[in-house]
Amino acid sequence: MLASQSRKAALNAFRSSSRKPLAAALSVRSISVDATASQDAQAPEDPDKPFTVKLLSQSFDAFNIEPPSLDFVTTKNELIDMYKNMAAVRRMEFAADRLYKERKIRGFCHLSVGQEAVAVGMEKAITPDDQVITSYRCHGFAYMRGASVKSIIAELLGRREGIAYGKGGSMHMFAKSFYGGNGIVGAQVPVGAGIGFAMKYLGRPNVTFALYGDGAANQGQVFEAFNMAKLWDIPVVFGCENNKYGMGTSAARSSALTEYHQRGQYIPGLKVNGMDVLAVKQACAWAKEYTTSGKGPLVMEFLTYRYGGHSMSDPGTSYRTREEVSWMRTNQDAIAGLRTRLLDWGVVTEDGLKELDKGVKDVVDPEVAAAEAAEVPENSRKVLFEDIYTRGSEPDWLRGRTAEETYYYKE
């Protein structure tokens, strides 16, 4: 064969394997779930009295395992709490969006508007002693793990009141049992396996959630983590937040298998409607039970969607249509979905809902304002040299750019 012919043949083979037709790409996710449709149920009077609701029949898709039950036991208070949490995360993210646009927040900033049900549903299924690690899209998780709105927004603003004293910014937030956002795509996944192993070694009855995106799912280290976790039966849940895009590349264009819950191969998996906070909670509680009973890891996929761009500098419309975004917003929004159900089940009245929304606003807005009002770090050497060492462990002095700028911690 002539050189040019064989080259053509190779390219043809390459073309057919790497380029899926658009229809196939879309049909991967083409089934129907409405986050807003609800099954009949009636909440009891007592806000703490458990009652059972049916989750939508298509909430889960299991891989090599029995899926969780569709009977979801909850209370009025829990449902209201979930609603408030999701609304608070969204309101906080909107505040970040505004502050960014006002050029008060700078740097890289990734918002989770649209994906709130994952952070909230997961937190509701675990305890503060369970461990969580995630990617740079971390504000919602930080909040649910106990960080205040003020400390998160102040961090974004570079204020000393920020959760990392204003020195880390958007991607580097930590809280108790929360090992941070991580700027390197996929890097947190094997770290999550290590955290899980530490918990097991220490004999703790806890689960570790290691979260990553559909784009990150293709990093080699994710598969290395899968193998170690299964080999050593680590109580870790690998949770893929599939929001359909890794920056500007759609899942179907980046991944040979977009059934991310099946990618553990020898690890059982569960796909969850990540726009339904109840399904997320049910699945995470089930996953905690499974992993902490010695059965080893799980791979979970949360089908979700981000409404905004990848980061603040991406308008988010060059690789997907505006119609797609607005369709998701109108038809599958997690907060609107829960709202409908709260009404249908008699958990709250229309007026009650308005109260809830106002309550969220009254809690979040003052914290945002307080963060904004926090002083811009003073232009002093004291502030500049702060936090190079952990507070209290500083050496006597540290050199500046020039010898004259040497800073003495102990005057």
Partner 1 sequence: MRRKAVSLLCRVPRPSTIQRPLVAPIVSLPRYYSSHGPPNAKLNLPIQYNTSTYLSHTAAATLANPELPSSIRTSGNTARQNLYQSINSALSTALSTDERAILFGEDVAFGGVFRCSTNLLDKFGPDRVFNTPLNELGIIGFGIGYAAHHEANTAIAEIQFGDYVFPAFDQIVNEAAKYRYRGAGDFNCGGLTIRMPVMGVGHGALYHSQSPEAFFCHVPGLKVVVPRGPVQAKGLLLASIRERNPVIFMEPKILYRATVEEVPVDDYELPLEKAEVLAKGSDVTIISYGTTMYTVEMAAKAAKEMLGASVEVIDLRTIYPWDKVTIFESVKKTGRCVIVHEATKSGGVGGEIAACVQEECFLRLEAPVSRVAGFDAPMGLIFEQFNLPDVARIFDAIKKTLEY
Ligand X SMILES: Cc1ncc(C[n+]2csc(CCOP(=O)(O)OP(=O)(O)O)c2C)c(N)n1
Query: Restricting to residues 16-35, which ones interact with ligand X according to CB under 6 A?
Result: none
Q: Tell me if 156 sits within 8 A of 233, measured CB to CB.
A: no
Binding of residue 264 to ligand X (CB under 6 A)? no
Interface segment toward ligand X; rule CB under 6 A; list 37-45, 56-64, 206-214, 358-366: 206-214
183: contact with ligand X by CB under 6 A? yes
Should residue 118 be labelled a site residue for ligand X when binding is judged by CB under 6 A? no
Which lies closer to ligand X via its Cβ, residue 209 or residue 345?
A: 209
Is residue 257 at the binding interface for ligand X, with CB under 6 A as the rule?
Answer: no
Concatenate the DSSP letters of all residues of 139-176 into one string. HHHHHHTT--HHHHHHHHTT-TTSTTTTSS-TT---BT
**According to the binding rule CB under 6 A, does residue 247 interact with ligand X?**
yes
Closer CB to partner 1, residue 76 or residue 263?
A: 263
Smallest separation (angstroms) from partner 1 to the CB of 54: 16
From the list 170, 162, 168, the residue with the least C-alpha distance to 140 is 170
Q: Is 213 helix (H, G, I), strand (E, B) or coil?
A: strand
Q: At what angle do helices 76-101 and 149-156 cross, to 10 degrees?
A: 20
| Nearer CB in complex with partner 1: 54/253 | 253
Our measurement of the distance from residue 331's CA atom to the centroid of its chain's CA atoms, rounded to an integer in Å, reads 21
Q: Cβ of residue 356: shortest distance to partner 1, in angstroms?
A: 26
Pairing of strands 51-54, 71-74: antiparallel
71: three-class secondary structure by DSSP: strand
* Sole residue written with tokens 């992993």: 291
Cβ proximity to ligand X: between 85 and 112 the closer is 112
**Interface residue with ligand X, options 74, 177, 221, 243 (CB under 6 A):** 243
3-class SS of residue 80: helix
Binding mask 299-338 for ligand X (x = CB under 6 A): -----------x----------------------------
Q: Is the dihedral of CA 191, 192, 193, 199 positive or negative?
A: positive
Q: Which residues bind ligand X (CB under 6 A)?
A: 135, 137, 183-185, 212-216, 241, 243, 245-247, 310
